[in-house]
Structure 1
Amino acid sequence: MDFFTPERIEKTKALARDGKPFIFDDGDMRTLHFNEQVVQSAMRLSAPDELVIPYTQAMAGFLSLHPLPQHILMIGLGGGSLAKYCYRYIPSARITVVESNADVLSMRDQFMVPPDDARLRVVHADAISCIESLAVGSVDVIMLDGFDASGTPPTLRSSDFFMNCKAVLDDRGVLITNMGDQHAHIVGTVTQGQRVFGAFHHWWFKLAMDNSHIAIAVNADDDAVSDARLRTAALNIAEQFSLELVYPKNLMQE
């Protein structure tokens, strides 16, 4: 579906209000916005657990690196697409979702996010303080998808933030990040991610069909997981989800 036809842009523009989130329905499609220029989340009313936007499908690629996670931490609820997908299709996982925007949380039921239970917990909290409170090595996968009306907050692309993520990830745990399409934010995220995780344990991908970018990092300091094995997994993810491997390019040389 084309989310940016002139008619849709005009309709969503009329609903925009000072960077506050709002919902727009168009037939079977429900979308979450902060403005008329960006779709934060999308859901088919007839298939609420489906991953509609390509970047969300690509973020499911973490399963190639960690197929049986026990604890998934999600930063940013949005319309709950990733939370619903993981809740339905990864029954072994306990899922914690951290969302700092109360207005976004208030739309949870409209996006059919399941109620909290033994496997799913959605909390209204700051991501930084939440991660700092977690035990070392207590998380298998971190899915970073935290955005506001201006894009990725600076605190979620800082060196301290990535150090905290690395600390709470277990051995061979995975951090997968939606970097959006703002070049300065992407470069900052990649630079800090490489610095903390190491260049050959951190990859930057671009979606072939649009200008979205994601990053994947693996907490693998020891020799138990070879660089060659991680490189193969990265290339498999790129092929499976039609991603262009932007960095490090030398992963593709052999």
Structure 2
Amino acid sequence: MHLRLKETGQQHQDITVYDTKELYGERGSFRVMQFSHEAVQGAMDLNDPKRIVLEYPRAIIHLMELNNPSFEDAFVIGHGIGTIAGHFPDKRFKAAELDGKVLEISRTHFGYHSDNVIIGDGRFILANEAPQTYDYVILDAFTAEGTPRHLVSAEFFGMAKEKLHSRGAIVMNLMGKGANDNLINAIHTTLGEHFPYTRTFALPAQGARDVQNVVIMGSGKPIRYQARHMAGFIEALPGQGHIIMDSENAT
């Protein structure tokens, strides 16, 4: 491993960029952005920069392309290295990134060039967008504690729905244990209060306690997917959970 950068971001979390010859068992030449607690936030194949390396953006891109091939406008909360927006150069993307240092690193170390990222809280920025503006809202935001509560609450999902076209969708990258995770159950239940159609997908875990990427989609129309294009994600059926409100006392 060759360390290229390690510093503290504006949100007081460690940000590390390194090059490696192996990533998740695959041999090659990769550049990785990693946050605190060894949480990989983005990876680029240095031999093929346009290739989508990580499974979860591949799954999200498949869901976007299959469910609305002609989509035009998307709002992303959590820029990272800009993988999903960079995959769609001909679409109109707007991204919100809380940490300006992350945006700077995505430009200097990962070649992100688009001028479509706003620094600030994604919920606040999205709230100021016009109603029925977007085909997709993509949530891929993490702190050291996980996905912030105010981005998975009933109030947030209600607001996000207002910003989507009537048949638009929200797609989230989360961390959990699929159908056996209390938080995933709660997020799925809360999302279902605002979107008539929901589906949850998880990467298989080695053990019952292993935490893996979980992708949840909520839409105004039935959600389709093709298993062979889901990058190893399989559909999960979360149990009933509590409704997440902005105020913890309201749950």
TM-score computed with the length of structure 1 as normaliser: 0.77
Q: Name the residue aligned to 1:179.
A: 174
Aligned CA distance change for structure 1 residues 130 and 80 (closer, same or farther; 3 Å): same
1:30-55, CA deviations, whole angstroms, 9 ceiling, x for partnerless residues?
11111353211111123222210011
Gaps of 5+ in 1: 1-7, 221-229, 250-254
Matched, 1:26 2:57: no
1-structure distance, mates of 2:43, 2:126: 27
Q: Which residue of 1 aligns with 2:88?
A: 86
The residue aligned with 1:140 is: 135
In structure 2, the partner of 1:204 is: 200
Which residue in the other structure is 1:159 paired with?
154
Q: Deviations over 1:5-40 (max 9, x none)?
A: xxx6xx88x958662222111242111111353211
Secondary structure in 1 aligned to 2:101? Answer: helix
Q: CA deviation at 1:175?
A: 0.9
| Higher share of residues assigned strand | 2
Larger displacement relative to structure 2 (50-59 or 186-195): 186-195
SS at match of 2:105: coil
Q: How many residues align?
A: 217
Q: Which position in structure 2 is the counterpart of 1:99? A: 97
Quick one: which amino acid aligns to residue 23 of structure 1?
V
Equivalent AA in structure 1 for residue 188 of structure 2: V
Partner Cα distance (2:113, 2:70) in 1: 21
Q: What are the equivalent positions in structure 2 for 1:1-254 lying under 5 Å apart?
A: 19-27=13-21, 28-60=29-61, 61-87=63-89, 91=90, 93-109=91-107, 110-116=109-115, 121-181=116-176, 183-198=181-196, 201-208=197-204, 211-220=212-221, 230=222, 233=224, 236-241=225-230, 242-247=232-237
Structure 2 residues not aligned, in runs of 5+: 22-28, 207-211, 240-251
Higher helix share: 1
| SS at 2:33 equivalent | strand
Contact 2:139 2:170 in 1 (8 A): yes
* SS at structure 2 position matched to 1:130: helix
* Secondary structure of 2:123's aligned partner: helix
Contact 2:184 2:238 in 1 (8 A): no
Task: Give me the whole-angstrom Cα distance separating, in 1, the residues matched to 2:227 and 2:157.
Answer: 23
Query: Structure 2 vs 1, CA of residues 195 and 238 (structure 1 numbering), >3 Å: closer, same or farther?
Result: farther
Deviations 1:42-97 (A, max 9, x none): 1112322221001110011221111111111111111111121122xxx2x21111
Normalised by the size of structure 2, how large is the TM-score? 0.78
Q: CA deviation at 1:217?
A: 1.0
% identity of equivalent residues: 24
